[in-house]
Amino acid sequence: METIATKDVLTLSVALGESMLACGAEIYRVEETVQRILQTYELEDSHVYVISNGIFASSNVGGDGCSLIRSVPLGTIHLGKIAAMNQLARDLAARNCSVSEGWERLRQCQELPPPHKRMAVLCRGIGCSAFCLLFGGSMTDALCAGVIGMVLGLHMNWQERLSMARFAKCLFNSMLVTLLSFLPLWMGLAVSQDRVVISGIIPLFPGIAFTTSVRELFNSDYLSGVIHFVDALLTALCIAAGVGIVISLC
């Protein structure tokens, strides 16, 4: 088996885990990925500890010791990148990919484009309409919710250019949805505003963060579970504040 420096293997495995964590991968998946790669290269005296926003790893083989710490801010979910990195991790663990090739493939995974913006806007509109019907709204309510969802998608695409805090973006987005829900009423249309608002804010709801926190708490990863729970809670509070501010003003 090819002999590779401990630092090279540890650096690549931690970089892969860091990228996966930044894209929203579960901490048990990241921890197992890093550990399996280290075991493949016979770095048995290794320790990996992953939380929601950080990675701690160390290895010491024959006096060739190395330790790494990475801070990973909570980011947006990108399932395409996670799938590509999972495949890279499997190839590294199976020794179907060298360390030097791994760096190049990791760079390619990190450069995968996000979903097409126009398609994302259309999907938000369709999703909001479907949820409106699910909540008992009429076809008119669903049509209004779909239009609001697409406008919200366009606004979120525009917000990506701004260096604004994520919670501030969430606050303004919920205010925009609530304000737009008043337009059909002002135009004299018979719509159920509460169903339109609830359906319109669905794309903002932190569902993945909340379910991830519950799963991590059940797995006894209490610190990571609390981090994701607080993140979901603050996001929900920002949504509620945005809706309440506009309703109070209007």
Q: Write the pLDDT tens digit of every residue in 79-111.
A: 888 899 999 999 988 888 888 888 999 999 988
| Phi–psi pair at 55, nearest 5 degrees | -130, 135
Average pLDDT of the segment spanning 213-221: 83
Residue 1: per-residue pLDDT: 44
| pLDDT for the residue numbered 172 | 92
191 CB-near residues (< 8 Å, 6+ apart): 138, 140, 141, 144, 184, 185
pLDDT surpasses 80 at 6: no
Identify the pLDDT of residue 22: 87
Instruction: Tell the residue number behind the tokens 């337009």, with chain if given.
Output: 183
Angle at 231 between CA 67 and CA 133, to 5 degrees: 135
Q: What number is the average pLDDT over the span 47-54?
A: 85
Mark 104-124 as b/e (b = at least 16 C-beta within 10 Å): ebbeebbeeeeeeeeebbebb
Other C-beta atoms lying within 10 Å of the C-beta of residue 202: 20
Q: Which of 199, 69, 177 is nearest to 129 (CA)?
A: 199
Question: Do 81 and 112 touch, CB atoms closer than 8 A?
Answer: yes
Per-chain mean pLDDT for the chain: 85
Query: Quick one: pLDDT band at residue 63, thresholds 50, 70, 90?
Result: low
pTM exceeding 0.75: no
How is residue 227 annotated by DSSP? H
Residue 128 or residue 63, greater confidence: 128
pLDDT at residue 4 in the model: 65
Q: Is the pLDDT of residue 66 over 70?
A: yes
Predicted confidence (pLDDT) per residue in 120-159, tens digit: 889 889 999 999 999 888 898 889 999 999 999 888 888 8
Mean pLDDT of 216-241: 87
Tens of pLDDT, residue by residue over 16-35, are 999 998 888 888 888 888 88
Q: Is the pLDDT of residue 61 over 70?
A: no
